[in-house]
Amino acid sequence: MMITNFVFDLGQVLLSFNPREYLEKRYTKPIHRELLFQAVFGSQSWLDLDKGMIDEQEAFHQMSDGLPSLCEDIQYLLDHWDEMLIPIEGTIALLHRLKEQNYRLFMISNFHRRAYDRVRRQHTFFEMFDGILISSHVKLLKPDSAIYERLLADYSLTAETCLFIDDTPANVAGAQSAGIAGLVFHDAPTLEKDLCAMGILKL
């Protein structure tokens, strides 16, 4: 079957997401930065937020447990981390080109509910998508094959007609386990070359 549907990841594909760089800009002490990274972005609580299993108040209590000196910083990061999510214009330009060629666009993303609601209101490119599946809405996480199967079922898609694009190889492998072809995203120019090589886009 021909590819007629594109399924995009959100973070680091359409919106930049680099927590370590964000922490480096805000905190001068390396030890401070590493403690915050592990407590917030590297924690199980972060994954549980993505999966919609806990809210941000519960996440704060779990993340700050045993780190009373960092409580204010942890709360700040929970309230403001989505400031680092800046549109990757090259990829968004490719969305427009695909849409102009009548491909259908879908999204699967591991994302917190509140943060997704905020960025969804901020950026008009979301309007190009024919369907969006957010982990915290369905309590499933990539790379579990169930989240890809959920997308196929919800939007009556055939796996063989879909191409999934994600910056994380494990997530691409998860899509492939559900029968969906995948590309690992590196940057917009490389993605453009890959799509041209597949005969989907023209340079």
- 5-16+86-197: CATH architecture: 3-Layer(aba) Sandwich (3.40)
In the chain, what are the domain boundaries? 5-16+86-197, 19-84
Structure tokens belonging to residue 124? 């008009």
Segment 9-32, tens digit of pLDDT: 999 999 999 999 999 999 999 999
DSSP for 81-97 reads GGGG--B-HHHHHHHHH
The C-alpha atoms of residue 36 and residue 33 are separated, in whole angstroms, by: 5
For 147, list phi and psi in degrees, rounded to 5.
-75, -35
58-110 pLDDT, tens per residue? 999 999 998 999 999 999 999 999 999 999 999 999 999 999 999 999 999 99
Tell me the per-residue pLDDT of 101-159, one tens digit each, with 9 for 90 and over. Answer: 999 999 999 999 999 999 999 999 999 999 999 999 999 999 999 999 999 999 999 99
pLDDT at 203: 67
pTM above 0.85, yes or no: yes
What tokens appear for 140 in the block?
A: 């499933």
* pLDDT reading at 1 higher than 80: no
Q: Could you give the 3-state DSSP secondary structure of residue 11?
A: strand
